[in-house]
Amino acid sequence: MKEKIEFTLNGKNVSVELEKSKKLLWVLRTHFSLAGTKYGCGEGYCGSCTVLVDNSAIRSCATTIGEVAGKNVITIEGLAEGEKLHPVQQAFVDHDALQCGYCTPGMIMNAVGLLNEKPSPTRKDIITGMEDNLCRCGAHNRILDAIESAATAMQNSK
Torsion of CA 132, 118, 52, 101, to 10 degrees: -50
Q: Does 77 bind another protein (CB under 8 A)?
A: yes
Q: How far is the CB of 2 from another protein (least distance, A)?
A: 11
CA–CA dist 97, 69 (Å, integer): 34
Find the binder of another protein among 22, 67, 148, 153 (CB under 8 A): 22
Interactions with another protein, residue window 43-62 (CB under 8 A): 43, 45-46, 48
Q: How far is the CB of 40 from another protein (least distance, A)?
A: 5
Instruction: Pick the closer one to another protein by CB: 7 or 107.
Output: 107
Find the binder of another protein among 6, 14, 56, 100 (CB under 8 A): 100
Residues that bind another protein (CB under 8 A): 22-23, 26, 29-30, 33-43, 45-46, 48, 75-77, 79-80, 85, 89, 92-93, 96, 98-105, 108, 126-128, 130-144
